[in-house]
Chain A
């Protein structure tokens, strides 16, 4: 049978992969992928603990979190398109007009 600890460990692995992507990748779209992977790891934790404690709050929180993540992706990709139009590049190291 499945147990809580298995789900939590999978969530930890996904979270670590997301952190790795945020640290290593310099492509703006790949950084958005990393953020999504981290958000999904958090949702997995919420649902797993909600199932374990028989508490509906975890599921509600996960539902709202998924919706907010969708809004965040829409705005983030809009910003990437603007940056691409300005710099002709989606490498974050090229976005340096605010650099002092």
Chain B
């Protein structure tokens, strides 16, 4: 059975995820998304993966949430207040949500994943030294590719956000 801390983190994460999608103002949604990501980091700590938890906080709560909030402020107009969805689509979405939870949940429970032999955490947790060693030996090519991907995405985002009309105006002034 789950302990109280787990249930608290689960309620925080799932509740914040729902608020992120359903809040009326997009800025509150962005903040709720950051709280939800913080809850996921709490799960990582409960799973004794502190390095991944810190990585999650740095990347998601630190970078992605700030990026989202900046974008929300850049597009600040009446577009911020999302129009009401039509009811039929919303009801269909909730039915789909329940089907997903029921279907996948029953498959998981029937699969023997919850059997006492498998579901307990019997083995010791992975220490950070193993992750560091693997990162620079076996996964070194992946790490380099990841760096290149991040560089490419930053350059791509810069190229996307460029405004040629303003640049041409500045050139004429100069």
Known: A37-B36, A52-B118, A59-B51. A7 touches B43 (CB 8 A): yes
In the complex, how many angstroms separate the beta carbon of A43 from the nearest chain B beta carbon?
A: 7
Q: Are the CB atoms of B160 and A33 closer together than 8 Å?
A: no
Number of interface residues of A (CB under 8 A): 71
In the complex, how many angstroms separate the beta carbon of B39 from the nearest chain A beta carbon?
A: 9
Neighbouring B residues of A3 by C-beta, 8 Å: 1-2, 114, 119-121
Of A3, A15, A25, A59, the most chain B CB neighbours within 10 A belong to A59
In the complex, how many angstroms separate the beta carbon of A67 from the nearest chain B beta carbon?
A: 6
Neighbouring B residues of A68 by C-beta, 8 Å: 146, 149
Neighbouring A residues of B146 by C-beta, 8 Å: 64, 67-68
Complex CA distance for A27 and B1, rounded to whole angstroms? 39
Neighbouring A residues of B35 by C-beta, 8 Å: none
Of B40, B44, B48, the most chain A CB neighbours within 10 A belong to B40
Q: Are the CB atoms of A74 and B67 closer together than 8 Å?
A: yes
In the complex, how many angstroms separate the beta carbon of B114 from the nearest chain A beta carbon?
A: 4
Q: Are the CB atoms of B14 and A2 closer together than 8 Å?
A: no
Neighbouring B residues of A70 by C-beta, 8 Å: 59-60, 63-64, 150
Name the one of A51, A72, A77 contacting B71, with C-beta atoms under 8 angstroms. Answer: A77
Q: Are the CB atoms of A23 and B93 closer together than 8 Å?
A: yes
> Which residue of A is nearest B145, CB measured?
A64
Asked if A84 is at the interface of the complex by the 8 Å CB criterion, the answer is yes
Which B residues form the contact surface with A (CB < 8 A)? 1-3, 6, 10, 13-14, 17-18, 20-21, 26, 29-30, 33, 36-37, 40, 43-44, 46-49, 51-52, 55-56, 59-60, 63-64, 67-68, 71-72, 74-75, 77, 79, 82-83, 85, 89-90, 92-94, 96-98, 100-101, 104-105, 108-109, 113-114, 118-121, 123-126, 130-131, 134-135, 139, 142, 146, 149-150, 153-154, 156-157, 160-161, 163
| Nearest 3 A/B pairs, CB to CB | A54-B123, A71-B153, A24-B93
